[in-house]
Amino acid sequence: MSHFRIVAICLLLAVCNMAHGQNRRYTVSGRVVDSVTSLPLANVNISIVGTSSGGTTNPAGEFSLTVTRLPAILYFSYVGYEIGSYQVEKSGEKDIRIALVPEVQEIDEVTVRGERISKVIRGDTLNIFDFEISGDRIFLLASPYRQTYDQRIYLATLNGDTLDHLPVKRAGKQIKFSDEMMPRYDYLFQDFTGTVQFLDKKSAHEVLARNNKLVFGYDTPYEEFLGRVMPVKVEMMGSLIFQVANTTESFTLFFGLGNPEGEILKYVRDKKGANRTIAAELMKMAPSSADFNKNVRAPLFRKNNELFVFDFFEGNIEVFDSNLKRNRYIPIDFQYTTIHEALFLEYQDIDAKNFTQSILFDEKAGKAYAFYRQRSDNRQSLREINLETGKIDRVIDIPDFPNVSDIRVYDNVVYFLYDTKVYPFYRLLYRMAVNPS
């Protein structure tokens, strides 16, 4: 065999070997979690060094990738966390656990304790089902002591002084409540004008405070109110900003201008929404005044003449000016997990140790908070969001009151409902002053 033919055969074998190697595919899979809380991290970006390939984690923090050569180095990146890496040495590596370390905040979080927690309505005189704060007044849906079915709407000062009460009647007829001990459909809702509405199964009834006296105003059929009034979030320079959410399929929502079919101001989509249908079904189990925003990861907040839209899918806060023109983005630099996602993760046998119950706005003080709940011991805290940096400035503990409900923040004071642990098991309203930062 000539020297030339030997060299040609060697080259051919080398090329075949290279081609065979390039056709090899190796699968690697695992889960990405927070190194502190062990919570799974969704939508973590994964890149394969030296290639343009990669992927992201699913809502359970899981991933599965294919690499074409070994060893391969994977990089894991996520907002608010240090970049992680892993070297794949062999084919078929499974159940890899990647723990990403939270970045050190440029502005250190400061944990503070609020002032003494006290009852708003002194004594066990009212069993409170719901409340709203409007115009420096508290509107309460409650019943007198040991008279559960004699429900009334009360007007009180922020310090708890009762000014007036109104039997839940209209045109001389008692408004019928649900047959359940804890009504599901009867609640208070504050619309975009600041007017408090009492909603029962059939209608929304305006509740007006005139010279510290309560009166019922106009009624709106329940379905009409749900479709036309409740979606209006704020008014900006004569324009109404609508929020229309599809929470049962893809968790998409639109922000319209002028009417629900008007100009689209903002479009937010959960690309993995099909995986959250369990959470969507859970959301529909108990309608309440908070349900409209519970499972929508794009809360809306007006501060002065600016509109802040929290887009947790894209990981930023979009700020619009008074003319509804987008003028800046603020990166969101904290983790956000809803109660529904925590339940979804639990359904997947994943231990969701804590979650963000909701995003709260103190419109009078111009502040935003994330309300966190620790699942292991039900401890809660408010985390003040810096609206310039998107980071958490400070953590405010709510001590000694596990499982609070219907929390509000108004003028640097936290208000919440809490069920007593002794008979007759009343739900009382408490307040805790938060020192301004």
pLDDT in tens, 65-88: 888 888 888 888 876 677 888 888
**pLDDT surpassing 60 at residue 104:** no
Contact yes or no for 197/207 (Cβ under 8 A): yes
At residue 108, φ and ψ (nearest 5 deg) are: -60, 140
**Is residue 359 in some structural domain?**
no
Q: What CATH number is given to the structural domain containing 96?
A: 2.60.40.1120
**pLDDT surpassing 60 at residue 180:** no
What whole-number distance in Å separates Cα of residue 241 and Cα of residue 306?
13
Q: Tell me the pLDDT band of 206, cut-offs 50, 70 and 90.
A: very high
Identify the residue with better confidence: 333 or 164.
164
**DSSP secondary-structure letter at 182?**
S
What is the helix (H) or strand (E) element at residue 13, kind and residue range?
A: helix 3-23
**Is residue 108 in some structural domain?**
no
**pLDDT surpassing 90 at residue 367:** yes
- pTM over 0.85? The answer is no
Name the nearest CA neighbour of 207 among 271, 130, 283, 281: 130
**Is residue 127 in some structural domain?**
no
**Is residue 311 in some structural domain?**
no
Percent of the chain scoring above 90 in pLDDT = 16
What is the secondary structure of 85-101 as a DSSP string? Answer: EEEE-STTEEEEEEEEP
pLDDT in tens, 86-96: 888 877 777 88
Residue position matching structure tokens 């409900």:
405
**pLDDT surpassing 70 at residue 140:** yes
User: How many domains does the chain divide into?
Assistant: 1
What is the pLDDT, as a whole number, of residue 398? 83
For residue 84, CA distances in Å to 66, 78, 80, 81, 296 come to 18, 9, 12, 9, 30
**Is residue 57 in some structural domain?**
yes
Q: Which residues contact 331 (CB under 8 A, 6 or more apart)?
A: 79, 315, 316, 317, 390
Residue position matching structure tokens 């903002």:
266
**pLDDT surpassing 60 at residue 400:** yes
Contact yes or no for 345/40 (Cβ under 8 A): yes
**pLDDT surpassing 90 at residue 173:** no
**Is residue 12 in some structural domain?**
yes
Q: Tell me the pLDDT band of 204, cut-offs 50, 70 and 90.
A: very high
pLDDT in tens, 306-331: 989 888 777 888 898 888 888 899 98
Name the nearest CA neighbour of 272 among 96, 63, 47: 63
What is the pLDDT, as a whole number, of residue 106? 39
**Is residue 30 in some structural domain?**
yes
Tell me what the mean pLDDT of segment 155-181 comes to: 66
78 CB-contact burial (10 Å; exposed 0-12 / middle 13-18 / buried 19+)? buried
Tell me what the mean pLDDT of segment 325-343 comes to: 69
Question: What does the mean pLDDT of the chain come to?
Answer: 73
Contact yes or no for 296/287 (Cβ under 8 A): no
**Is residue 18 in some structural domain?**
yes
**pLDDT surpassing 80 at residue 200:** yes
345 CB-contact burial (10 Å; exposed 0-12 / middle 13-18 / buried 19+)? buried
Range of the domain at 91: 3-100
Contact yes or no for 436/412 (Cβ under 8 A): yes
Contact yes or no for 145/428 (Cβ under 8 A): no
What whole-number distance in Å separates Cα of residue 110 and Cα of residue 132?
29
Tell me what the mean pLDDT of segment 336-360 comes to: 51
